[in-house]
């Protein structure tokens, strides 16, 4: 009897790994094509990816709203200390840690990459992978759903506000209009999210049946955003100005962001005496950053900047690293919980 559930869980993880593998390869291919033929993928190029991705982003957040379960949000609402910890890590500790690193090593980091790390620091937490990792680790799934969703909704307002204050309109020296920027983000991200959630009672069952296709669509939109962003930047001289050194700096930077945040979220949760199920939520939701919302929001905030390829490089690398490291941690957490139950 015990062997059958283990087999199903392993098969599920293999299917998820397959999705992640093709997604990673597609993003690498998009960067490669953009590097050798940037004219094809430019926002205003022959494929008109600017307009295509606008439509894709709207539909992507409609699907995110359609997948949101109100019952799960209600089930996780009572853990207020956990929610404060996760949101505090996402929107307070991450920017403070960026400020520390900027003071220590910022003089040796290209300005656009430094601002890309600030953009990473003020992004909301990811939803799907945080919930998936929490479930794999046998944590409190309902609390993970609530925190990840709350983080996304707060990010519609907090991320543009902080970006406008620190980054400004990168590349042209002018500051962003905060109100206009937040309105634009709300219209393109929050509006379809809310509409999708309101239509869930009537269309939710249908979209649940075609989830495998909507997942492919979700990842496909992100790949197109990556392609357009890097095409615009390469056409403006991205690799001729920076080269391999930029990738090395970005890779080191994401390690310096992820590992300390994984440690500090776990340390705070344990100091507060949280049960292991809540600690798991704090670690996975409090340390993660969303590529699914980060790329569409970057298009809205930096779409007119030739530096966008550099600005989104940290979140692209961070996304892959967090999936790998958190998957290892989730398996360890899951084994530990099983041993406690037995």
Q: How many residues does the chain have?
A: 342
Confidence of residue 342 (pLDDT cuts 50, 70, 90): very low
For 167, which DSSP code?
T
Pick from 42, 106, 113: which is nearest to 312 by CA? 113
Residue 277, in any domain of the structure: yes
Range among 103-117, 154-168, 219-233, 299-313 with highest mean pLDDT value: 103-117
Residue 136, in any domain of the structure: yes
Q: pTM for this one?
A: 0.81
Domain count, the chain: 1
State the pLDDT at residue 100.
97
The larger pLDDT score, comparing residue 222 to residue 1, is at: 222
10: pLDDT strictly greater than 60: no
State the pLDDT at residue 176.
58
Summarize pLDDT for 172-185 with one digit per residue, the tens.
444 556 677 777 77
Residue 20, in any domain of the structure: no
User: How far, in Å, are 7, 41, 253 from residue 315 at the CA level?
Assistant: 33, 20, 11
Residue 140, in any domain of the structure: yes
Residue 27, in any domain of the structure: no
Residue 208, in any domain of the structure: yes
Percent over 70 (pLDDT), the chain: 87
Confidence of residue 54 (pLDDT cuts 50, 70, 90): confident
Instruction: Residue 264: give its domain's CATH number.
Output: 1.20.1530.20
Residue 188, in any domain of the structure: yes
Residue 56, in any domain of the structure: yes
238: pLDDT strictly greater than 60: yes
Summarize pLDDT for 96-152 with one digit per residue, the tens.
999 999 999 999 999 999 999 999 999 999 877 788 888 889 888 888 888 888 898
Domain that residue 293 falls in: 47-341
Summarize pLDDT for 241-269 with one digit per residue, the tens.
777 889 899 999 999 999 999 999 999 99
């Amino acid at each position: 009897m015990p062997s059958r559930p283990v087999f199903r869980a392993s098969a599920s993880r293999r299917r998820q790994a397959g999705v992640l593998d093709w997604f990673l390869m597609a993003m690498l291919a998009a960067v490669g094509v953009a590097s050798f033929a940037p004219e094809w993928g430019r926002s205003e190029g022959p494929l008109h990816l600017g307009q295509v991705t606008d439509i894709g982003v709207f539909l992507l957040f409609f699907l995110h709203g359609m997948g949101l379960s109100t019952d799960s949000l209600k089930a996780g609402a009572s853990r207020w200390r956990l929610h404060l910890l996760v949101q505090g890590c996402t929107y307070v500790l991450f920017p403070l840690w960026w400020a520390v690193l900027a003071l220590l090593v910022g003089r040796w980091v290209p300005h656009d990459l430094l601002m890309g790390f600030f953009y990473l620091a003020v992004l909301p937490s990811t939803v799907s992978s945080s919930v998936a990792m929490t479930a794999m680790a046998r944590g409190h799934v309902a609390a993970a759903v609530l925190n990840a969703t709350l983080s996304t909704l707060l990010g519609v307002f907090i991320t543009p506000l902080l970006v406008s204050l620190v980054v400004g309109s990168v590349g042209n020296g002018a500051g962003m209009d905060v109100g206009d920027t937040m309105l634009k983000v709300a219209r393109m991200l929050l509006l379809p999210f809310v509409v999708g959630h309101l239509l869930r009672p009537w269309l939710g069952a249908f979209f649940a049946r075609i989830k495998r296709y909507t997942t492919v669509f979700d990842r496909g939109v992100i790949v197109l955003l990556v392609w357009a962003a890097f095409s615009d930047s390469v056409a403006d001289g991205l690799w001729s100005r920076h080269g391999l050194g930029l990738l090395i700096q970005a890779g080191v930077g994401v390690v310096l962001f992820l590992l300390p945040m994984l440690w500090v979220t776990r340390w705070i949760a344990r100091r507060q005496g949280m049960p292991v199920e809540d600690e798991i939520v704090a670690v996975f939701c409090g340390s993660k950053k969303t590529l699914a919302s980060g790329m569409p929001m970057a298009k809205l905030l930096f779409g007119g900047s030739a530096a966008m390829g550099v600005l989104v490089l940290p979140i692209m690398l961070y996304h892959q690293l967090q999936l790998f490291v958190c998957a290892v941690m989730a398996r360890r957490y899951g084994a530990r919980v099983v041993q406690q139950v037995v």
